[in-house]
Amino acid sequence: MDGHWDGYDSIGGSVPLDLVNTVSWRRDPARRDDRLSAPERLSEWVVLVGAGTERLEISESVLETVKSFRETLYDVLVSDPQDVTPLRKPLLAAYRYAELPPALPLKWTVPLTDGTALPHFLALAAEELLRSGELDRIRECEGPGCGWIFTDQTRNRSRRWCSSSDCGNRARAKRHYDKGARDKGRG
């Protein structure tokens, strides 16, 4: 990997959330950066987030399918109330592709043996996330323009930023600057 992933952290708490976070500065059009700019980048990401152990051969059409799914998932996660209807088609396709191991507990799987399996693998991973009891812990970073999504694992559910050292630090620096400017104006 050539530094393309510098500044990217797997902070989502799950592969589907990390997929959504492959767009940096989602809510700031001037800074927006889609890290899945080429099939090779998607292949690198699969290894980076631990979804697979080796790079996959990814076609341009698989890349476009994954990017479309990523945007659909983002919309579902940030919509209020959440409408999961847009996920129906990718999930039905995933179940047609998936395997059901002959043992309990029942769990549909999509082995990542080639790039064509990736959209199906991601759809089932998203379904698993959306079935979990953790939905009320999924948050969008409060950093202006950020748009990254994460699972808030704090005891009091108080996490506000994708990263304390990134958007959190930026917010603290702004508060400090604003306080200094206010104090200066009083003097």
Work out the percent of the chain whose per-residue pLDDT is above 90.
71
pLDDT tens column, 11-46: 899 999 999 999 999 999 999 999 999 999 999 999
User: Domain for residue 92, yes or no?
Assistant: yes
d(CA 33, CA 36): 9
Q: What is the pLDDT of residue 165?
A: 66
| pLDDT tops 60 at residue 1 | no
Lowest model confidence (mean pLDDT) among 42-56, 129-143, 154-168: 154-168
Strand partners, 99: 109
Cα distances (Å, whole numbers) of residue 33 to 26, 30, 129, 156, 174: 7, 9, 25, 32, 23
User: Domain for residue 3, yes or no?
Assistant: no
Q: Which amino acid is at 102?
A: P
pLDDT tens column, 62-103: 999 999 999 999 999 998 777 899 999 999 999 999 999 999
Q: What is the pLDDT of residue 179?
A: 60
Q: What is the pLDDT of residue 176?
A: 45
- Across the chain, mean pLDDT equals 89
> Structurally, how many domains does the chain consist of?
1
- Pick the closest to residue 65 from 118, 113, 114 (CA basis): 118
| pLDDT tops 60 at residue 171 | no
Q: Higher-confidence residue: 179 or 149?
A: 149
User: Domain for residue 117, yes or no?
Assistant: yes
Q: What is the CATH number of the domain that holds 77?
A: 1.10.3300.10
User: Domain for residue 2, yes or no?
Assistant: no
User: Domain for residue 76, yes or no?
Assistant: yes
pLDDT tens column, 109-118: 999 999 999 9
Q: What is the pLDDT of residue 79?
A: 87
d(CA 101, CA 111): 11
User: Domain for residue 177, yes or no?
Assistant: yes
Structural domain of residue 98, as residue ranges? 15-185
| pLDDT tops 70 at residue 181 | no
Q: What is the pLDDT of residue 9?
A: 82
**Per-residue pLDDT band at 8 (split at 50, 70, 90):** confident
